Amino acid sequence: MSAPAHAERAHALLGASGASRWIACPPSARLTEHISEKRSEYADEGTAAHELSEVKLQQMLMPNNSARRKELEKALTEAMASTYYGPEMENAVNDYVDIVAERFLAAKARSQDAVIMFEQRLDFSEWVPEGYGTGDVIIISDGIMDVIDLKYGKGVPVSAFGNPQMRLYALGAWQEYDFLYGIEEIHMTIIQPRLDSVSTDIVPVSELLEWAETVVKPAAALAFAGEGEFKAGEHCRWCKVKGNCRARADENMKALEYEFRDPALLSLEEIGSVLFVAEQLKAWAKDVEGYAFDQAKNGAKIPAWKLVEGRSNRVITDKDVAWKSLEDAKIDDDKFLKPRELLGIGELEKRIDKKELAALIGDLIVKPPGKPVLVPETDHRAELNSVDQDFAGEEFES
């Protein structure tokens, strides 16, 4: 493999993945520096997907001699032995590999001298003290550089547009390769195969460098020194102290001080403002509850609160033995067995190749209209017609 395994990578204080946070809230970098981060199953799953994708890309797009082919076959076997590997990961990684291959072919169409690199360590310390990261894929051809990142998760959609992490990767790659290739334009792409999402932000190098000098460099200097102003915002969701940060608490307490004016009933304009406040408070309350629970679980006493045993449901410890006991007792099957039923579409796609499934039952799969839901007007979805009869019998999501 061309770089250390994903799970073994060191993390810089001002790493690219946390850039949206330390750019907006510089002192948060030092505040959270010595707080350990729990490694989740999702992170391990993402690591497995990245390692599998790198092997597949090396096999497909790089010239390999017989010894290298054997090495990659062994690496592929090891990647497929992961506990996280399955049909869903295979399909998602194949989709990602196909898109990268298309981008490389497009680069070669521009120039036969196009180059592609995987898992490159990228140094952007000219703008960020000790700043570095690892880029999944770099493609360079005829003055254009592609920086491509795989996001395997499916919980939160991530856009490449104005994405600080991708821009820092681009800066590091430009710094490393510009003297060889004369890069003029950078295409930054995030691929989320499990969300069928591909976004690409295209910027001229001059624009990227201006952002680096005017936005990143001053914020990074403050962050590295542990200085600057704490500022709450969307970036808090990724912060290790989001549940007990005073700046975030102060910001949310301001929201609680919302003054309702006369008359007694709120106007629709006020309701619109309150909805934003409510969303903000719900997220904060959940984070505070999570922090308090972790502290109590570790033995800390939260004044006026206590840890108790929650409700639980009865379970059968050995279903096979239970099945046989009921069967031996001549109990009718329909009294203890569920009728056979078709798995959901998501589960079917995990177990059966997507293309094969589409060929077999694609004409039977439909996507009915979703239930109406109230969202901010910045949401990309088209607005529904707000006529009463259009929503007759509908249950709205809250």
**Higher model confidence: residue 219 or residue 43?**
219
pLDDT for 366: 86
Residue 203: partners with Cβ closer than 8 Å, 6 or more residues away: 167, 170, 185, 186, 188
Nearest to 18 by CA among 168, 209, 192, 155: 168
String of DSSP letters for 76-143: HHHHHTSTT-SHHHHHHHHHHHHHHHHHHHHHHHH-TT-EEEEEEEEE-TTTSTT-EEEEEEEEEETT
Query: What whole-number distance in Å separates Cα of residue 324 and Cα of residue 156?
Result: 44
pLDDT for 311: 80
Do 182 and 139 meet the contact criterion of CB atoms below 8 Å apart?
Answer: no
Share of the chain above pLDDT 90, in %: 45
**For 9-32, what is the mean pLDDT?**
87
pLDDT for 199: 94
pLDDT for 98: 95
Domains located in the chain, CATH noted: 6-225 (3.90.320), 242-341 (no CATH)
**Higher model confidence: residue 242 or residue 8?**
242
pLDDT digits (tens, 9 = 90+) for 165-183: 999 999 999 999 999 899 9
Flag whether pLDDT at 40 surpasses 60: yes
pLDDT digits (tens, 9 = 90+) for 102-131: 999 999 999 989 999 999 999 999 999 999
Do 189 and 202 meet the contact criterion of CB atoms below 8 Å apart?
Answer: no
pLDDT for 68: 92
Do 252 and 243 meet the contact criterion of CB atoms below 8 Å apart?
Answer: no
**For 337-365, what is the mean pLDDT?**
84
Q: How far apart are the first and last CA of the chain?
A: 47
Query: What whole-number distance in Å separates Cα of residue 67 and Cα of residue 75?
Result: 13
| Chain position carrying tokens 């395997």 | 152
Residue 159's identity, in one-letter code, is S
Confidence tier at 29 by pLDDT (50, 70, 90):
very high
Flag whether pLDDT at 297 surpasses 90: no
pLDDT for 392: 52
Query: What whole-number distance in Å separates Cα of residue 122 and Cα of residue 397?
Result: 44
Flag whether pLDDT at 5 surpasses 50: no
**Higher model confidence: residue 206 or residue 253?**
206
Cα R_g (the chain), whole angstroms? 26
pLDDT digits (tens, 9 = 90+) for 51-110: 999 999 999 999 899 999 999 999 999 999 999 999 899 999 999 999 999 999 999 999
Flag whether pLDDT at 287 surpasses 90: no
CA dihedral (347, 352, 355, 356) positive or negative: negative
pLDDT for 345: 85
| Chain position carrying tokens 């001002």 | 14
| Chain position carrying tokens 């460098």 | 209
Of 178-192, 194-208, 255-269, least confident by mean pLDDT is 255-269
Residue 99: partners with Cβ closer than 8 Å, 6 or more residues away: 191, 198
Residue 145 DSSP SS3? strand
pLDDT for 2: 45
| Chain position carrying tokens 């109406």 | 372
Flag whether pLDDT at 186 surpasses 50: yes
Pairing of strands 197-204, 144-150: unpaired
Do 119 and 134 meet the contact criterion of CB atoms below 8 Å apart?
Answer: yes
Flag whether pLDDT at 329 surpasses 60: yes
String of DSSP letters for 60-74: HHS---HHHHHHHHH
Mean pLDDT of the chain: 86
H or E segment and range at residue 38: none
Flag whether pLDDT at 211 surpasses 90: yes
pLDDT for 260: 52
